[in-house]
Amino acid sequence: MNAVAPRTPPTAEAWPARPARSNRSCLFVRPAASRDANGGDTIVYRRWAEYVSARVSIEVLELPPIGRAGQLWNVARGAPPEAARYDGAQNRRALRAALAKRRFDLVLFAHEGAFPLGDEPALAGIRKVYFTQNLHSLIAKTDHSWAARILQPGAARFERRWYGDLSARLLCISQADLAGLRALGIERPEVSVAPPGAPPQTPLSPSATLRPEAVVTGSYGWWRKRRDLRRLAAERPSLPVPILVRDTAAAEILRRHEKVIATRAIDWGLGVRFGIVSDRFLGGFKLKAVEYVAGNCVVLSLCDLRDEFAGLPHAEEFVRFVRSKKEMADLIQDWLGSPDDQRIERFRIFKAACLERYDWERCLAPLGEALLI
């Protein structure tokens, strides 16, 4: 769990942003900022706050993780470990204090770990919006570890309790999460999907070719991600290409078994590479996958992300679900050994359609509807 007791109490702060377009006010409740400025959670929270602040007046309440004993108690009561970190007395007092200080029209709980705070009596009469980042019953179902099997029933009960709260508007970040909710029996017609958008794209050089290189990006602070990367690294055979790696922890894991080029700067425009998603569990939609497409990479994923790209031209060619490192290596070898003059042009078509679908403004439109309806 790797949690520590909070050093400072949570506080609500005004968000310095563009003038709001509505007289409505929103309290944005989220976990405390990650130490990793490039982590997916940091990127998502920043984008969400910018989007919200352009539409309503916003204050942000950051929740530090509670102590280990409190987290263990929450897990014992059925909360998934990753969602057990914020439901404590100090965070509840901070929420009540923020609500007492100002009358908010709505409260946006921007992480499933904050949802249990939604039962505070002080929220009576205030509209709630729950925005989940991970469906933990889906993680447990696709993780295939003994710990996941033990935790899956508790995760399902947790989600039926909070995601079934009809007093709150519910948003999730992927089609996979939406399907997972339905599998739990949570049928809510107003549930919206608001996935993370794409980062700024790098134009592909007119003379681009398929480059004999793989890429691993992202951060590896989450233990599940480190575990799955270690498993990938240990499998045989080694990949037939070097791997460009930006994260220090990922480079250390991979270089024991692979040829690794540790770098902070990748010239994404030179050509089309192979972008590796090493996660085998399905924790909602992967920011990394769209980052790869924006950076001109074919997505080779050990978790099945295909539904998130369904309907895009040539998606079946450039978003590949692979079940092992050998399958990944064979695909890379086959592509490099069988030149296809039209492949780069098909990738350009796929990329353009993908970035149009995952434009941030388009992706967050359901959040805007939830705020203003």
Domain membership of residue 20 (yes or no) is yes
Total domain count for the chain?
A: 2
Domain membership of residue 154 (yes or no) is yes
| Predicted local distance difference test score (pLDDT) of residue 147 | 81
Are 156 and 236 members of one domain?
no
How far apart CA 317 and CA 365 sit, in angstroms, is 29
| Predicted local distance difference test score (pLDDT) of residue 38 | 52
Are 261 and 172 members of one domain?
no
Of all residues in the chain, the percent with pLDDT exceeding 90 is 70
**What would the pLDDT profile of 305-341 be if each residue is shown by its tens digit?**
999 999 999 999 999 999 999 999 999 999 999 989 8
How far apart CA 137 and CA 153 sit, in angstroms, is 8
Residue 184 near residue 162, CB atoms below 8 Å: no
CATH number, domain with residue 256: 3.40.50.2000
How far apart CA 307 and CA 321 sit, in angstroms, is 11
Domain membership of residue 6 (yes or no) is no
Is pLDDT of 188 > 90? no
Mean pLDDT of 343-366: 96
| Predicted local distance difference test score (pLDDT) of residue 6 | 40
Q: Which domain holds residue 144?
A: 12-195+360-372
Counting every residue written for the chain, the total comes to 373
Is pLDDT of 11 > 60? no
| Predicted local distance difference test score (pLDDT) of residue 9 | 52
Are 364 and 343 members of one domain?
no
How far apart CA 117 and CA 120 sit, in angstroms, is 6
**What would the pLDDT profile of 313-322 be if each residue is shown by its tens digit?**
999 999 999 9
Domain membership of residue 202 (yes or no) is no
**pLDDT class of 150 with cuts at 50, 70, 90:** confident
User: Minimum mean pLDDT among 32-36, 158-162, 300-304: which range?
Assistant: 32-36
Are 154 and 35 members of one domain?
yes
* Helix, strand, or coil (residue 135): coil
Are 232 and 185 members of one domain?
no
Residue 240 near residue 329, CB atoms below 8 Å: yes
Are 366 and 294 members of one domain?
no
Residue 132, token pair as written in the block: 């989940």
Residue 63, token pair as written in the block: 């929740």
| Predicted local distance difference test score (pLDDT) of residue 2 | 39
Are 214 and 151 members of one domain?
no
Are 213 and 184 members of one domain?
no
Are 61 and 97 members of one domain?
yes
Are 107 and 236 members of one domain?
no
pTM of the model: 0.88
| 195: alpha, beta or left? (left if phi > 0; alpha if psi -120 to 50) | beta
Is pLDDT of 13 > 90? no
Domain membership of residue 59 (yes or no) is yes
**What would the pLDDT profile of 49-96 be if each residue is shown by its tens digit?**
999 999 999 999 999 999 999 999 999 888 998 899 999 999 999 999
**Selection from 221, 212, 249 nearest residue 233 by Cα:** 249
How far apart CA 80 and CA 283 sit, in angstroms, is 13
Are 236 and 347 members of one domain?
yes
In sequence order, the 6+-apart residues with CB closer than 8 A to the CB of 252 are: none
Of all residues in the chain, the percent with pLDDT exceeding 70 is 92
